[in-house]
Amino acid sequence: MKDIATPNRTKDIVEKYGFSFKKSLGQNFLIDTNVLNRIVDHAEIGSESGAIEIGPGIGALTEQLAKRAKKVVAFEIDQRLLPILDETLAPYGNVTVINKDVLKADVHEVFSEQFEEGQDVMVVANLPYYITTPILFKLLEEKLPVRGFVVMMQKEVGDRLA
């Protein structure tokens, strides 16, 4: 099966579903499998690990996480992406997509329903510029029992947080 994260496959998926990006959601899709694998490598996801992803888009990062993790839970706010994710992630029975805004979701409830007690879990995401800080602060304030965070963000956000 061909990876989702290629320019041609991404273009084909977007065209097939007539998807148009919402600037208000800061949507962008990763199209380089090497970059995605580096993200997952840094997260040190293993066969017994869990992963929480925020904003899976069409599922490129989700796919790479699903290849390595025991369980992946992805929060997607954009309902238009759900049929795309149903198709692109169909081969992976270890993925659950939750159509909720992570800022409004009861993340503790989701965590306890989706992961085993004591399971090694990482937050891994390619965060949109406008919502990076609120998401990070919410997840830190919630004190989820995760090992850590591996997130991609725009340089300006990283500079501001540093």
> Helix (H, G, I), strand (E, B), or coil: what is residue 112?
helix
The Cα 110–Cα 57 span in angstroms is 20
- Residue 32 is labelled as binding a ligand: no
22's tokens: 């919402």
- Residue 55 is labelled as binding a ligand: yes
- Residue 34 is labelled as binding a ligand: no
* Cα dihedral sign, 54-60-62-65: negative
Of 39, 5, 32, 28, the closest CA to residue 123 belongs to 39
The answer to whether 127 and 23 have CB atoms below 8 angstroms apart is no
The answer to whether 96 and 69 have CB atoms below 8 angstroms apart is no
H helices present in 69-142, as ranges: 82-88, 107-114, 132-142
Tally Cβ neighbours within 10 Å of residue 80: 12
- Residue 78 is labelled as binding a ligand: no
Residue ranges of the binding site: 28, 30, 55, 76, 101, 126
Residue ranges of the binding site for S-adenosyl-L-methionine: 28, 30, 55, 76, 101, 126
